Amino acid sequence: MKKFYLLLSILLIFSGGFIAGSFFTKENNKKEVSFEQNPQSSKELEPKEKPELDQSPSKKLIGYVQDFRDPNVVDYKRLTHVIFSFAHPMKDGSIQFNGENAINNLRAMVSKAHQNNTKAMLAVGGWFHINGGESYDYFKAAIADSGSRGKLVQELASLTEQEKLDGIDIDFEHPRSQEDAAYLHAFTQELSNKLHSQGKELSIAVHSKIHSVTGTELGFVVYEPSMFQDVDYVNIMAYDGQWDGGYNAANLSPYPFTEDIVNYWATLFDTHNLSKEKLVLGVPFYAQPEDPNTKQVSYDALIQSNPNNANQDIVKLNGTIYHYNGDKTIQRKTELALHHGFGGMMMWEVGLDAKGEYSLTATISEVLKQTKF
């Protein structure tokens, strides 16, 4: 029994010491926490300025390049996208290229584009067909029938994988009725679903929809606005107004004509709750002759003739007067597009541009970088 009491006494003494020690430790910890939360310092803290983050969306600079063009002439580093033109649709939904040289140029373009972190796309359609005449009849036949339409979608999707393309550009020139618009809508939707499931992009080239003389909407080209939900970019061909109301080279692409075009498309997209970031304004890199029997010339040819031509929009060359867009006009058009919330600029076509300091591609690129809206 004595042993029992002795053990009980030792246990009580030990427990009491443990409890007292725990209490003392908790009190000290409280003091330490309080100290850390309220540091004493004679130096006042100065608030740091938050860095300003550039939240403006990146703008696109898209350049078409023709299938016969030497891929080495393209200034890939300034472009976000380069579009090879063209693959030709057949009435059965198959696709043809303009010979082996075109295919080789396509592959070289894709390789060089990717080396410069530029996306490479393929345009299907265009105005002229490989078999001669307009492409319209071939394209319409291909997309009017569900079987040939499905074949065309599958061939284009397979081409993007086979040739390591980043997407497809639709250039159906042009839907001329509500029926045509419905066919194009169906084709665009099917191709969009196929390409987007593969992580690819889809763009569409569209008519300006504006008469260059009257400034009113043209009714002979018809689009279904809901179709634009299915594409990533809408490349507006804001040129070739010289054919409106009788041939007049001065109506090629003057600034007031472009203002009407920009206002039309901005309003259309606002009305249908479509993102204006999809809109891409196109500009010409060629000069239109007042004599319709004379061929167009490149902007590069104008600069080669006289570098001062960069500061003008009209020039007389070899006895013929030409109308075009010089450096200042291209700057104004780029600013106009950005001011209206467009997603970028497009050029037809990059192989016609001047080189070096007179490059219009360089001019657009600088405005896109410097202008903030």
β-pair type (314-317, 320-323)? antiparallel
CA atoms of 195 and 215, how far apart (whole Å): 36
What is the pTM for the complete model shown?
Answer: 0.85
Residues in the chain: 373
DSSP states of 6-64 as a string?
HHHHHHHHHHHHHHHHHHHHHHHHHHHHHHHHS---SSPPPPPPPPPP--SPPPEEEEE
Q: pLDDT tens digit string along 131-156?
A: 999 999 999 999 999 999 999 999 99
The low-confidence residues of the chain, meaning pLDDT below 70, are 1-57, 373
How confident is the model at residue 371, as a pLDDT?
A: 81
Q: How do the domains of the chain map onto residue ranges?
A: 60-285+325-370
Q: 3-class DSSP state for residue 217?
A: strand
How confident is the model at residue 373, as a pLDDT?
A: 64
How confident is the model at residue 27, as a pLDDT?
A: 39
Peptide bond into 211 cis (omega under 30): no
* CATH number, domain 60-285+325-370, options 1.10.3720.10, 3.40.190.10, 3.40.50.300, 3.20.20.80: 3.20.20.80
How confident is the model at residue 58, as a pLDDT?
A: 84
Cα dihedral 206, 73, 311, 336 sign: positive
Give 310-317 contacts, CB < 8 A, sequence gap 24+. Answer: 310/354, 310/358, 313/254, 314/250, 315/287, 317/287
Tell me the pLDDT of the chain averaged across its residues: 88
